[in-house]
Structure 1
Amino acid sequence: MRGNKLKGQVPHQLQNLQLSVVDMSHNSFSGSIPRNFNVSSLRELRLHSNEFMGSVPSYLFKAKGLQVLDLRHNRISGMILNTIGKTSDLGVLLLGNNSFQTHIPEKIFNFLSKSRYETYQGDILRYMYGLDLSSNQLSGEIPVEVWDLKNIISLNFSSNRLIGSIPDCISNLKSLESLDLSNNKLHGNIPPQLADLNNLGYFNVSYNDLSGEIPFKAHLVTFEATSYIGNDQLCGLPTNKSCKTSKEFEKQFKEEEEEEEGDGVIDMVWLYWTSGAVFISTSLVLFASLCIDSRWSREWFYRVDLFIHRLQSFKGRFVCK
């Protein structure tokens, strides 16, 4: 039923059929997502590009045989279900808008990984794990169960209303290659444990309320400033914003000023001591030279006697007059 102009709610008669593949995408179906689909034989459920609202029914995550759930580009709201982390057979979960492109009936998936699309087809789909919740109206915190999806390759929670912080246990996702948390209301620091995800090739936390210093180390140095824009409280590389506050700058300025003043005082004391030492040394050398009977000392005393004699003669003439 893909690609028609069907609207309204999904007929309940259709929900009761034992089907393996249901594709109702690219229509105008509205209302809530059907809550009584017969999932005993259901392998693929494609409802993307409609106008479904409300939350995702929890029974869909508990379906043993369901491998593909595609609910992208709808008006899904509410909180992310904790049961997501308990899914076993579900390999391709598409609840977002742009990260996956599906081609029917060939069952080919172009999977976004490390900023490029990789094509998955046939049996390899059993080993491809992706979770895309982007471009909806999801709220609340990301459940901790999500961070237990150790085989997940791509996570896309962008363009929602998610709050809370990025937990340290994100380091459990050793296979993660693409992480997009942009355009939410996440706060707190960026955990340095992200540096432990050696496969991470795409990372975006722009336009949140994150703060603190960016853990710019290991392979995280490969991400540009565009991965962090829109977070006014983030600082450090690769941004040009220093992590020092105005108070710290003022304290550093005062310390430098006091250090310069201290250096000035030390310089003046050194000048006084140096001048005194030079004066004393010169006086001692001159005194020692005069004590030695030499031509220079005799000439010196002769000049001194001559000066005294002339001074006395001048004084005598002045008194007589």
Structure 2
Amino acid sequence: MKNLAGISIADNEFSGQIPDSLGNISRLQKLDISVNKLSSSIPLSLWSLTGLIALDLSQNIFEGLLPPQMAKLKAIGYIDLRSYRLSGNISIALRELQSITYLDLSNNSFHGQIPQQLGRLFNVEYLNLSHNFLSCVIPKSFSNLSYIYSLDLSFNMLEGEIPEGKVFSNVSITSLMGNRALCGVPQLKFPPCPANMITTSTSSAKLRLIKFVLPSVASVLVFLACFSLFVKFFMRKKAKASSQEEPPCLNYHGWIPYFELARATDNFSEDNLLGRGSIGKVYKGSLEDGLFVAVKVLNLQVEGASRSFDA
């Protein structure tokens, strides 16, 4: 049944393993096998389903690690892996899931640090890492998450200063409770951070800045200056040539990579917002070939969004 687009067998009593042949359903977009008694590990073939936009495997008894192969799910917008026995470190491969808006890894046995790279999930709106064994500090990169409305880091082993930023100004105490040594944010009844912690952190940050960051920045600036001169020369030459050609075809239906759309709209900046609708937003942008486009970003959690995408 290779043409299936969706499978839902949730809330049953299926047991045993997920068959490896599930990876042959190449057109699969939505898979929900939550609330069953499935066990063993998640087959690697599942992560080759590059068309998946929603994956719910929650409340089963899977074991194992999150493999780097999950980075292949470039179109995924929804992942629910809560209430498993998954363990190990949280894979930095998650940073490749740039379309994801909902990610739940709660009630597992993940340990180690929360990867700084999760701060690159710019479109995430819901992130739940609660009830694990995650340690060390909360990544400051989480302050970059502009669209997030729900962040839950409760009942881990986190410590240190709670970062500043939009998400932490709106977070509730229940989202951070159950950690052993967090400090700061007195309005949430956490103790103030010791002065030596802040001083040490600031001093080491300055030292790192002087030793490593400044030379790198200088090198990058020199490179960018040279590259900018090259691009200007190339674009001038290209503009002269294109002025003698036909204008770009407006019936273009090719594939455009996500990163190109993000670049064209300045990472979906509010400055490029053309309008809002019941199922999403529309942004203006300019592609590398000079073609101006309108990019519609659908909220896949709204009924009718998938039909609009098909249309």
In the alignment, residue 55 of structure 1 is paired with which amino acid?
S
Q: Label 1:216 to 1:131 Cα distance change in 2 as closer, same or farther (>3 A).
A: same
Q: Equivalent of 1:32, from 3, 17, 25?
A: 17
Shift of 1:47: 2.4
User: Aligned with 1:138: secondary structure?
Assistant: strand
Aligned to 2:82: 134
**Distance across 2 between alignment mates of 1:47 and 1:246:** 50
Q: Equivalent of 1:54, from 4, 24, 40?
A: 40
Higher radius of gyration, 1 or 2: 1
In the alignment, residue 244 of structure 1 is paired with which amino acid?
P
Q: Label 1:204 to 1:22 Cα distance change in 2 as closer, same or farther (>3 A).
A: closer
Contact 1:48 1:74 in 2 (8 A): yes
Aligned to 1:156: 104
**Distance across 1 between alignment mates of 2:65 and 2:115:** 17
Aligned to 2:74: 88
Equivalent runs, 1:1-321 vs 2, <5 Å: 17-18=1-2, 20=4, 21-37=6-22, 38-40=24-26, 42-89=28-75, 91=76, 129-237=77-185, 238-244=188-194
Query: Structure 1: any 5+ residue segments left out of the alignment?
Result: 1-16, 92-128, 249-321
Contact 1:39 1:66 in 2 (8 A): no
Shift of 1:66: 4.7
Contact 1:206 1:231 in 2 (8 A): yes
Residues 98-140 of structure 1 deviation map (CA, whole Å, 9 limit, x = unaligned): xxxxxxxxxxxxxxxxxxxxxxxxxxxxxxx112111111100
Residues 194-240 of structure 1 deviation map (CA, whole Å, 9 limit, x = unaligned): 11211121111010000101113444211122211111211111333
Q: Structure 1 length as normaliser, TM-score?
A: 0.55
| Paired residue total | 194
164-173 or 65-74, which deviates more: 65-74
Q: Whose relative contact order is higher, 1 or 2, with alpha carbons under 8 Å and at least 6 apart? A: 1
Shift of 1:22: 4.0
**Distance across 1 between alignment mates of 2:196 and 2:55:** 51
Q: Label 1:81 to 1:223 Cα distance change in 2 as closer, same or farther (>3 A).
A: same
Shift of 1:67: 4.8
**Distance across 1 between alignment mates of 2:167 and 2:195:** 28
User: Aligned with 1:162: secondary structure?
Assistant: strand
Q: Label 1:25 to 1:177 Cα distance change in 2 as closer, same or farther (>3 A).
A: closer
**Distance across 1 between alignment mates of 2:167 and 2:29:** 38
**Distance across 2 between alignment mates of 1:65 and 1:218:** 32
User: Aligned with 2:35: secondary structure?
Assistant: coil
Shift of 1:41: 5.4
**Distance across 1 between alignment mates of 2:88 and 2:73:** 20
Aligned to 2:258: none
User: Aligned with 1:36: secondary structure?
Assistant: helix
Q: Label 1:219 to 1:181 Cα distance change in 2 as closer, same or farther (>3 A).
A: closer
Contact 1:139 1:160 in 2 (8 A): yes
